[in-house]
Amino acid sequence: MKNPIVIPLLLVGLFALASTTSAGEANLTRFGPKTFERERGKPQDYSATFNAIDGPADLVIYDDGIKNARIKINGVDVVRARDFRGNGEFTVPLHLYPENTIEVSVRGKPGGRLAVRVTQFTEAEINVRAKMYFGVNTSD
């Protein structure tokens, strides 16, 4: 004869494991995506502020015909004219702070575009109370 207390103990243990807090990974966009175009007239300068977590991040740049631009993060040149090839995507590692500034200066001939995004990988606490599935049979 089986012990009648074993099954309830197993169920309690299963629910205890299902209700634990776990960490989830996230790749967060801290700025953008924002597209900057080189239009006719004087070169344009843009600036913006954004928040982040103190730590490493990536500046993701999609270059569509830009041959001369400059990007500063927190006053530091992170991308210069020599980094642009005219087409393609590239990534620049950087360090972010809780409050950040980005400055984009688009130069060169009119007609090109530049898409900029700042991403940051982090771990986040995910409070999962239970993982349950109730199968309902709707077929007769």
Residue-range definition of the domain harbouring residue 63: 29-127
Q: What confidence score (pLDDT) does residue 86 get?
A: 77
Counted domains in the chain: 1
Does some domain include residue 3? no
Q: What is the pTM of this model?
A: 0.71
Does some domain include residue 11? no
Domain at 117, CATH number: 2.60.120.380
Does some domain include residue 5? no
pLDDT of 97-119, one tens digit each?
A: 999 999 999 988 888 899 999 99
Does some domain include residue 114? yes
Q: What φ, ψ does residue 7 adopt, rounded to 5°?
A: -65, -50
Q: What confidence score (pLDDT) does residue 126 get?
A: 66
pLDDT of 24-59, one tens digit each?
A: 788 899 999 999 998 888 888 999 999 999 999 999
Does some domain include residue 18? no
